[in-house]
Amino acid sequence: MVQYHTTLDHPLGCAMVKTNQTKPEMQMSDRSTVKAIGVISGTSMDGIDVSIVDTDGDTLVKPGLGRTFSYPDNLRRTLQALIAEPAQAQSEPLEDLERDVTEAHIAAIRRFMEETGIGAAEVKLIGFHGQTVYHRPEIRFTRQLGLGDKVAEALGIDTVYRFRHADVASGGEGAPFVPLYHRALASNLQQPIMILNLGGVGNVTYIDGDVVIAFDTGPASALLDDFVLRRRGMSYDENGQLAASGRIDQKLVSVFMQNPFFDRPAPKSLDRQDFHARAKGVEALSDEDGAATLAEFTVQSVVAALRHVPRAPQRWLVTGGGRRNAHFMKRLREELGVAVDPVESVGWDGDFLEAQAFGYLAVRSTLGLPLSLPTTTGVPHPMPGGELHRAA
């Protein structure tokens, strides 16, 4: 197994770097396809996404079925409270919480396999992302709760986890990590093309042949979700109805857009909570106007992504839960002035791209292939990563 040691003087030793590059677990000549399950709970914490992909870890990719399973209510609430307290999310040991998060993921994978009839013997690997609770690449720190060894042991399937750690330890942003999967999927599409993920945080992948540029764009649904929860007790603004019924406070949007993040060259990444403190200005607005203003902030932060790509793509494909927000989609079409479609328009499943990506990346990890590039996370060179735990 690849060996790691911690590079940071941190009590949790969360950032790891690969030290002795041993032989990859699979050789390039073994490149037949294998089935890998990917599992992730994103920053919205709306559930655990599980999917499967049949892949050689390179150009061959066949996505399979996907399912989302909710966190138990008390666990979701505990996680939501934790991410609002950055000091705790960074420094507390959180052993009980990490065990609960791991168990919820194991239960989700079990149910996925039962419901889809996929047997453990068919699955070569699990790519286990875990739950991001704190992300600070500038101090070389990223934290995803979840214990890969427990997943491997409980399910009897080799499991790769700690995908982002080697990247962050080497000075990379540690996110986004889905872009190489986007590249594999988009190889037959007209380029340049932009893939936009509207999750809790937004991120884009610009693909033009060998050029892959990726970065986080700004808030996607996180600010709006938290606002409508506070104001209306709703977990999100269904179809963007509330935002569509309000008036945008353009002055506030331009204040939000003065944040130096938007001019910072790519690659760059965000913690879910990064814009919360500075978005407090919406508290003085009505529910409708506040929602309209926060939604517009998301839209303008996506438009600002064009500052950091070489050519304006003629087509945007949108993935993540935000593609269901009709108001986001309408405003993006108006502002970008080109085709903006959900990824389903090219046959991809926008609910499971991230889960599939971590299955794909798990296979790449065992092949010793890069998971991130200088142009996707700012690593000094294409960077392998992930930590493999054998089932037995």
Ligand X SMILES: Nc1ncnc2c1ncn2[C@@H]1O[C@H](COP(=O)(O)OP(=O)(O)OP(=O)(O)O)[C@@H](O)[C@H]1O
Is 45 annotated as contributing to ligand binding?
yes
Cβ neighbours of residue 224 closer than 8 Å, sequence gap 6 or more:
236, 237, 243, 291, 294, 295, 298
Minimum separation from the CB atom of position 358 to ligand X (A) = 11
- Residue 168 or 248 having the CB closest to ligand AH0: 168
- Residue 159 or 287 having the CB closest to ligand AH0: 159
Position 105 contacts ligand AH0 (CB under 6 A):
no
Position 328 contacts ligand AH0 (CB under 6 A):
no
Position 199 contacts ligand AH0 (CB under 6 A):
yes
Reference 318, options 218, 195, 190; nearest CA is: 195
Minimum separation from the CB atom of position 216 to ligand X (A) = 9
Minimum separation from the CB atom of position 45 to ligand X (A) = 6
Containing 339, the helix (H) or strand (E) segment is: strand 339-342
Tokens matching residue 203: 């991120």
The CB density around residue 128, as the number of other CB atoms within 10 Å, is: 31
Residues within window 350-379 making contact with ligand AH0, judged by CB under 6 A:
354
Containing 159, the helix (H) or strand (E) segment is: strand 159-161
In whole angstroms, what is the distance from residue 38 CA to residue 40 CA? 7
Position 273 contacts ligand AH0 (CB under 6 A):
no
Is 9 annotated as contributing to ligand binding?
no
Q: Please, what's the b/e burial string for 329-354 (b: 16 or more CB within 10 A of its CB; e: otherwise)?
A: bebbeeebeeebeebeeeebbbbbbb
Minimum separation from the CB atom of position 237 to ligand X (A) = 6
Binding site for ligand X (CB under 6 A): 42-44, 46, 197, 199-201, 221, 225, 236-240, 320-322, 324-325, 354
Give the CB-side neighbour count of residue 222, counting CA atoms within 13 A: 26
Position 285 contacts ligand AH0 (CB under 6 A):
no
Q: Using CB under 6 A as the criterion, what x/- string covers residues 30-49 for binding ligand AH0?
A: ------------xx------
Position 196 contacts ligand AH0 (CB under 6 A):
no
In whole angstroms, what is the distance from residue 165 CA to residue 143 CA? 8
Is 51 annotated as contributing to ligand binding?
no
Position 128 contacts ligand AH0 (CB under 6 A):
no
Chain-centre distance for alpha carbon 41: 9
- Residue 244 or 356 having the CB closest to ligand AH0: 356
Is 246 annotated as contributing to ligand binding?
no
Is 43 annotated as contributing to ligand binding?
yes
Is 48 annotated as contributing to ligand binding?
yes
Of 50, 101, 123, 178, the one binding ligand AH0 (CB under 6 A) is 178
**151 and 48 in contact (C-beta within 8 Å)?**
no
The CB density around residue 171, as the number of other CB atoms within 10 Å, is: 15
How far apart, in Å, are the Cα atoms of 339 and each of 164, 195, 214, 218, 344?
A: 32, 12, 20, 21, 14
Indicate which of ligand AH0, ligand X, none lies near residue 142 (CB less than 5 to 8 Å, by partner kind). Answer: ligand AH0
Three-state DSSP state, 367: helix
- Residue 174 or 290 having the CB closest to ligand AH0: 174
Tokens matching residue 325: 């927000």
- Residue 172 or 200 having the CB closest to ligand X: 200
Indicate which of ligand X, ligand AH0, none lies near residue 175 (CB less than 5 to 8 Å, by partner kind). Answer: ligand AH0
| Total site size for ligand AH0, rule CB under 6 A | 18
Binding residues for ATP, by number, are: 42-49
